[in-house]
Structure 1
Amino acid sequence: MGLVVVPMLFMYLPTPQTAGQMAAKLFSAQTYLALGFMVIWLWAAVSAFFRNHLGPHIFHQPLFWCVLASGLCSLVLEFIVAPQILLRENLAFWHLLGSGLYLAQGFGVFWALYEEARRFKR
Structure 2
Amino acid sequence: MCRVQLLKYAVQSRRTSSIAFWSLRESDSYLIKCVLRQLQLQEQQDAQHLLFVFLCFLTLISGLQWLLRQIRALRKLPPGPWGLPVIGYLLFMGNEKHTRFMELAKRYGSLFSARLGTQ
Instruction: Answer with 1 or 2: which has the greater Rg.
Output: 2
State whether TM-score is above 0.5. no
TM-score tier after normalising by the smaller chain length: 0.3 to 0.5
Given the two structures, how large is their TM-score scaled by the length of structure 2?
A: 0.35
Name whichever structure is richer in helix by fraction.
1
Given the two structures, how large is their TM-score scaled by the length of structure 1?
A: 0.34
